[in-house]
Amino acid sequence: MGNKLIEFINLHTGEEDKQKVLENVAANISFRGSNLWILACAIIIASVGLNVNSTAVIIGAMLISPLMGPIVGAGFALGTYDFVLLRKSIKNLLIATAVSLAVSSFYFYLSPFKDVQSEILSRTSPNIYDVLIAFFGGLVGVIAITRVEKGNPIPGVAIATALMPPLCTAGYGLATFNFSYFIGAFYLYSINCFFICIATFLVIKYLKYPISATIDQKNEKRIRYGITSLLFILIIPSFYLAFNLYQEKKYTKTVEAFIDNEFNDRGFTVIFKKINYNSSPKTIELAFLNKILNKNDIYSYKKMLNEKGITNTDLIIRQDDANLKDEILKEVNKQNSSVTEKDITISNLRKELNKYKTNEPGLVKEINILFPELNDVSLGKIEKNIATDSAHIEWIIIYKLNNPLIKPDVARIKNWLNKRLNVKNTILVQNNEE
């Protein structure tokens, strides 16, 4: 049984001739002639995709990019102690990186559209998840390279272990002199390069590829220490960024809950909302459809923020702001360029009405069967203010009846409705108007 399991997961099954694999890897390292032209074209395509925020175009650029060649070559070189191949791989990777940065920077410098799109932003804050993607993507890539039948993984690896988009984003950072974008994007690119290389190194060691040169124990230790040092240098900041992302998501969730509880659930239609976690202090900007708050109201809500644990945050209520309309349209147009001001109003009114919408189409039929004495039953929801000045929604059941219900019948119907709707209270209203 054990032997069958080992055979089932054995990586040596279907393996290509090792010498042939090494020759193919060495052939794909160089960036001269056609490879350099393909790289330059892929850079332009990726830059255009980032510029117009087109995921499909960016994926196309990743598929034709030859950047994986020298990275995989470096992994093979480390695994086989082929230092000539290692120097050649690093040299070509540096050439490819420099060319990519130069071409993408030149494109973004000339481009009239320099707005920061979501595809650019997503490449500026790498974290531990990007490390995992790069490592496991690299594993898949090198396993596929060492097979007789290459199969379908190679295109998927090119997409998953995205090398071109962060490199072009770094070029955008240089062109716009936004060095925080450059550093974040280049860090993501470095993570991808290093962990693809490490994944390649581990697989090559596991498959026992023949070493190219014999090295002494001292130099072998140096290689291991060097890899370990780079591992920690690259992985520790990613943990910090992942923790920061977690804190931001937690903060945003708390703020969203505050807005829902204090505004949306009280009938205040929020037409503009902007949460800035990275400013100091953090800011929450809100605007309402038909509600004007005075200074005392705003002060009370700011005090509530601290009570809810939302500290170091400034609440900004946008009222009588001439630029508000343009900002609202700009925010909405990021998601849908055909949205108009009328669509915004309709969308917000629909959200407001959805609070009172009933989603129990079979409930009326059940009531008619269980309580035939009730006629013309209709359902609805109402917002009810209770003593604590907090609002909540209750179900209201309207019916017609020839003779009034006695108290036991009312209690029986209400108990059933409360359990059926999973609420604490329902309101029965008799309507005998003709």
Answer yes or no: do 342 and 381 share one domain: no
Listed as own residue / partner, the contacts of 414-423 with beta carbons closer than 8 Å and 24 or more positions apart are 416/370, 420/363, 420/366, 421/360, 421/363, 421/395, 423/394, 423/395
* Residue 101 pLDDT exceeds 90: yes
Element (H, E) at 288: strand 282-288
Instruction: Determine the 3-state secondary structure of 272 from DSSP.
Output: strand
Burial class (CB in 10 A: 0-12, 13-18, 19+), 196: buried
Q: Is the peptide bond before 153 cis (omega within 30 degrees of 0)?
A: no
- Residue 367 binned pLDDT confidence (cut-offs 50, 70, 90): confident
The CATH number linked to 12 is 1.20.1080
3-class DSSP assignment, residue 274: strand
Domain match, 255 and 199 both: no
Q: Indicate whether 238 belongs to any domain.
A: no
The pair of three-digit structure tokens given for residue 370, joined into one six-digit string? 């269980």
Residue 393 sits in which domain range?
363-430
The H or E element that residue 380 is part of is strand 375-385
| C-alpha separations of 99 from 44, 62, 68, 112, 300 in Å | 11, 16, 15, 22, 56
Q: With a cut of 90, say whether residue 107 has pLDDT above it.
A: yes
Same domain, residue pair 178 and 300:
no
pTM of this prediction? 0.64
Give residue 145's region: left, alpha or beta (phi > 0; psi -120 to 50): alpha
- Number of domains into which the chain is organized: 3
Same domain, 304 and 401: no
Domain final residue, candidates 324, 354, 384:
354
What's the pLDDT tens digit per position in 328-344? 655 555 544 444 555 55
Taking the C-alpha atoms of residue 253 and residue 245, their distance in angstroms, rounded to an integer, is 12
Is 107 part of any domain?
Answer: yes
Distances (CA, A) of 8 to 104, 203, 307: 46, 17, 58
- Residue pair 348/335 in contact (Cβ under 8 Å)? The answer is no
Average pLDDT over residues 127-141: 86
Sign of CA dihedral 162, 164, 168, 171: positive
Question: With contact defined as beta carbons under 8 Å apart, do 100 and 168 qualify?
Answer: yes
Q: Quick one: pLDDT at residue 1?
A: 55
Say what the pLDDT of residue 388 is. 42
- Mean pLDDT over the full length of the chain: 79
273, containing H or E segment: strand 270-276
Could you give the CA distance from residue 209 to residue 334 in angstroms, rounded to a whole number? 51
Classify residue 234: in a domain, yes or no. no
Sheet holding 426-430, edge to edge: 375-385, 391-400, 426-430
| Phi and psi angles of residue 175, each rounded to the nearest 5 degrees, phi first | -65, -35
Q: What digits encode the pLDDT tens for the residues 231-285?
A: 888 788 888 878 888 888 888 899 888 888 888 877 777 877 888 887 888 898 8
Chain Cα centroid distance, residue 316: 27
- State whether 311 and 338 are in the same domain: yes
Instruction: Write down which residue in 334, 354, 374 finishes a domain.
Output: 354
| Mean pLDDT of the 292-314 span | 85
